[in-house]
Amino acid sequence: MPQPVLLSDVGKVLIDFDFSIAARRLAERCDHPAETVLTLFDDIKGPYEDGRMDDVAFVREAIAATGFRGTAQEFEAIWCEIFTQNEPMRATLGALAGKLPMHLLSNTSGLHKNYFLRTFAIFQHFQDGVYSYSAGCSKPGEAIFHQTIAKLDLDPVRTFYIDDLAANIETAARLGFRTFHYSFAKHPQLQAELDEWLAAQGIG
């Protein structure tokens, strides 16, 4: 029988992000203002995060769309250096280390995944993950949840799932997961509900 598992989204849960940081830095290296430069990614960001475009193609198309004056490596750094770690969540997960498996489920790209996994200590607590760019589908669709259940051998009823977006929570709840709709301000509430759930699972 599958054991209890913690499954978590990444952005706005484990780490915060602010694309305006990238917008300001891009605007310094191209002829588009920070206020509008991110709209130039509208046609490529979705296909990229769904795996229909690889890292190299995305960077090439992004540089072409923006007229970015710099190298591919410089663009990648700007695109990725938008995150900060959620310290309260790091403390919560640190206290659970070794007590139950922890996995990730995220709509993200290869560049971002590789960056946050190597940059932030919070990710040392996670054993595995499912990511939209490699799954070929994304939340809130059910397909990526079914892939996650199969790949990670999850029993939704015994899986505590955390996400910041209501649509993703709705899908997870419909599939039987125990869910928590997260925001940074609600961290104390998460801690309380997680502690209650862990006790019910026999995990102290």
CA pair distance 38, 35, nearest whole angstrom? 8
pLDDT band at residue 204 under the 50/70/90 scheme: confident
Residues 111 and 176 occupy one common structural domain: yes
Residues 70 and 109 occupy one common structural domain: no
Radius of gyration from C-alpha coordinates of the chain: 18
Query: What percentage of the chain reaches a pLDDT higher than 90?
Result: 98
Domain around 39: 19-80
Residues 72 and 172 occupy one common structural domain: no
In the chain, the number of structural domains is 2
Mean pLDDT across the stretch 170-199?
Answer: 98
Residues 12 and 28 occupy one common structural domain: no
Residues 25 and 74 occupy one common structural domain: yes
Residues 164 and 185 occupy one common structural domain: yes
**Burial letters 29-45, b for 16+ CB under 10 A, else e:** bbebeeeebbebbeebb
Structure tokens at 122: 């919070």
Residues 35 and 136 occupy one common structural domain: no
Q: Which of 80, 98, 119 is the last residue of a domain?
A: 80
Is the overall model pTM greater than 0.85, yes or no?
yes
Phi, psi (degrees; rounded to nearest 5) at 67: 70, 30
Residues 163 and 98 occupy one common structural domain: yes
